[in-house]
């Protein structure tokens, strides 16, 4: 009798695992994860939510290897809130095969994004040798209008369309991060609004200093050409560099307003880079503190970000999604070892 019951139970299990499509095909829907998405837990603060964004991505319409709607799929599954499609204006090695114009990759990605409630921003990469280098124009309407010989005229056209201009990978390709006079002019004229401090797997310490000095948005992006997971690994979250955007709403408008106000923090390889005000607000939104008796503190980190702090001669680690019990520190003056502001580590008073 027991054996019969077990057989019935196993039969029931297999029915849950496989669904009959017809008498000749059984479907195994649990093997298809394409409608599942990670939740990346990074809290907001004040009136802002934290959006996880990647503002530098290529497709087959320039020198990328991926079709635009797969860009949306991989970012959506990974748990991002928004991406920008930024194919090169000038470099389109497959234009004889792919007939669409410079706006086509965005249009394809936008259609795929709308079907998922995901945000895709129209952008393009203005591509020149150094000294100018590469700049992304984000929130544009027509990339074709930027196909002009003088890159400064392309920037002006992008600005006329309402663009946010991002200075890409300042240390590439010659392994020198040089602030040329043209950059200084563009920074001062607000024709560069943000700088990539991290691009692909590169990190530019000098760019942190420029963000601080000129009050520009700190950005971290993939500059993906192949599949993102083929570079950063499969299946986990917080693998790729991300620009964290503190937005009053989860929309393209919300992101545009936040970028205009410089409300970003760059995330890369466990480090965070941004202004001291934003970094402190983000850290204090992630960590909550409860006194345990007179001598101990319970610190809860509900976020997917980890923090490492030093103070009073001690090192404190607050890993993602962990509760840590510590002896009450002898000081409230802390340095956050993995938070950078300009070229300095963030210092703050903790707990408050
Ligand atoms: Zn580039
Ligand atoms: Zn690029």
- C-alpha 223/C-alpha 200 separation (Å) is 6
Are 247 and 344 in a shared domain?
A: no
Could you tell me the distance, in angstroms and rounded to a whole number, from the CA of residue 33 to the centre of ligand 2? 29
**Tens-place pLDDT, residues 281-315:** 999 999 999 999 999 999 999 999 999 999 999 99
Are 293 and 269 in a shared domain?
A: no
Are 132 and 61 in a shared domain?
A: yes
Q: Does a structural domain hold residue 279?
A: no
- Proximal ligand: closest to the CA of 84: 2
Classified as helix, coil or strand, 42 is coil
CATH code of the domain containing 74? 3.20.20.140
Of the pLDDT bands very low, low, confident and very high (cuts 50, 70, 90), residue 46 is very high
Of the pLDDT bands very low, low, confident and very high (cuts 50, 70, 90), residue 5 is low
Range of the domain at 303: 286-349
Could you tell me the distance, in angstroms and rounded to a whole number, from the CA of residue 348 to the centre of ligand 2? 36
Residue 13 confidence (pLDDT) above 60:
no
- Proximal ligand: closest to the CA of 63: 2
**In this structure, is the dihedral angle defined by the CA atoms of residues 63, 87, 238 and 202, taken in order, positive or negative?**
positive
Are 237 and 299 in a shared domain?
A: no
- C-alpha 84/C-alpha 107 separation (Å) is 12
Are 81 and 163 in a shared domain?
A: yes
Could you tell me the distance, in angstroms and rounded to a whole number, from the CA of residue 252 to the centre of ligand 2? 21
**Tens-place pLDDT, residues 108-135:** 999 999 999 999 999 999 999 999 999 9
- C-alpha 120/C-alpha 105 separation (Å) is 11
**What single DSSP character describes residue 148?**
-
Q: Which two tokens stand for residue 153?
A: 């005229």
Could you tell me the distance, in angstroms and rounded to a whole number, from the CA of residue 45 to the centre of ligand 2? 31
Are 233 and 99 in a shared domain?
A: yes
User: Of all residues in the chain, what percent carry a pLDDT higher than 90?
Assistant: 89
* Average pLDDT for 47-68: 98
Could you tell me the distance, in angstroms and rounded to a whole number, from the CA of residue 234 to the centre of ligand 1? 24
Crossing angle for the helix pair 205-214 and 181-188, to the nearest 10 degrees: 40
The whole-number pLDDT of residue 222 equals 98
Q: Does a structural domain hold residue 42?
A: no
The whole-number pLDDT of residue 8 equals 47
C-beta of residue 49 within 8 angstroms of C-beta of residue 245: no
Q: Does a structural domain hold residue 239?
A: yes
**What single DSSP character describes residue 146?**
G
Are 210 and 309 in a shared domain?
A: no
- Proximal ligand: closest to the CA of 54: 2
Could you tell me the distance, in angstroms and rounded to a whole number, from the CA of residue 207 to the centre of ligand 2? 17
Could you tell me the distance, in angstroms and rounded to a whole number, from the CA of residue 39 to the centre of ligand 2? 27
Are 14 and 111 in a shared domain?
A: no
- The secondary structure of the chain in percent helix, strand, coil, rounded to multiples of 5, reads 30, 30, 40
The whole-number pLDDT of residue 192 equals 98
**Tens-place pLDDT, residues 149-194:** 999 999 999 999 999 999 999 999 999 999 999 999 999 999 999 9
Q: Does a structural domain hold residue 39?
A: no
CATH code of the domain containing 323? 2.60.40
Count the domains in the chain.
Answer: 3
- Proximal ligand: closest to the CA of 129: 1
Could you tell me the distance, in angstroms and rounded to a whole number, from the CA of residue 224 to the centre of ligand 2? 7
Could you tell me the distance, in angstroms and rounded to a whole number, from the CA of residue 166 to the centre of ligand 2? 11
Are 291 and 267 in a shared domain?
A: no
Residues with CB in 5 Å of ion ligand 1: 134, 168
């Amino acid at each position: 009798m027991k054996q019969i019951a077990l057989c019935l139970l196993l039969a029931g299990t297999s029915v849950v695992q496989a669904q009959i499509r017809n008498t000749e095909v059984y479907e195994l829907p649990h093997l298809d994860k394409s409608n599942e998405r990670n939740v990346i837990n990074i809290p907001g603060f004040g009136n802002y939510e934290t959006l996880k964004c990647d503002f530098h991505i290529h497709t087959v319409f320039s020198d990328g290897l991926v079709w635009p709607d797969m860009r949306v799929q991989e970012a959506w599954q990974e748990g991002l809130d928004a991406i920008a499609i930024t194919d090169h204006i000038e470099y389109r090695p497959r234009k004889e095969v792919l007939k669409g114009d410079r706006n086509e990759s965005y249009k394809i990605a936008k259609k795929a994004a709308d079907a998922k409630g995901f945000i895709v921003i129209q952008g393009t990469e203005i591509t020149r040798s150094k000294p100018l280098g590469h700049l992304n124009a984000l929130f544009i309407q027509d990339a074709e209008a930027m196909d002009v010989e003088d890159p400064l005229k392309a920037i002006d056209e992008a600005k006329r369309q309402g663009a946010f201009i991002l200075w890409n990978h300042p240390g590439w390709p010659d392994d020198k991060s040089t602030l040329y006079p043209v950059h200084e002019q563009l920074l001062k004229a607000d024709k560069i609004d943000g700088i990539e401090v991290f691009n692909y797997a590169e990190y530019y310490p000098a760019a942190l200093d420029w963000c601080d000095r000129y009050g520009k948005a700190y950005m971290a992006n993939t500059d993906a050409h192949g599949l993102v997971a083929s570079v950063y690994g499969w299946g986990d979250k917080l693998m790729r560099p991300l620009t964290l955007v503190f937005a009053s709403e989860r929309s393209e408008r919300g992101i545009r307003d936040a970028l205009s106000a410089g409300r970003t923090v760059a995330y890369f390889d466990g480090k965070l880079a941004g202004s001291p005000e934003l970094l402190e607000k983000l850290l204090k939104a992630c960590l909550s503190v409860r006194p345990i008796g007179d001598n101990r503190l319970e610190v809860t980190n509900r976020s997917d970000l980890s923090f490492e702090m030093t103070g009073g001669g001690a090192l404190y680690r607050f890993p993602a999604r962990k509760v840590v019990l510590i002896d009450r520190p002898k000081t409230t003056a802390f340095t956050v070892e993995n938070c950078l502001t300009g070229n300095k580590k963030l210092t703050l008073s903790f707990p408050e």
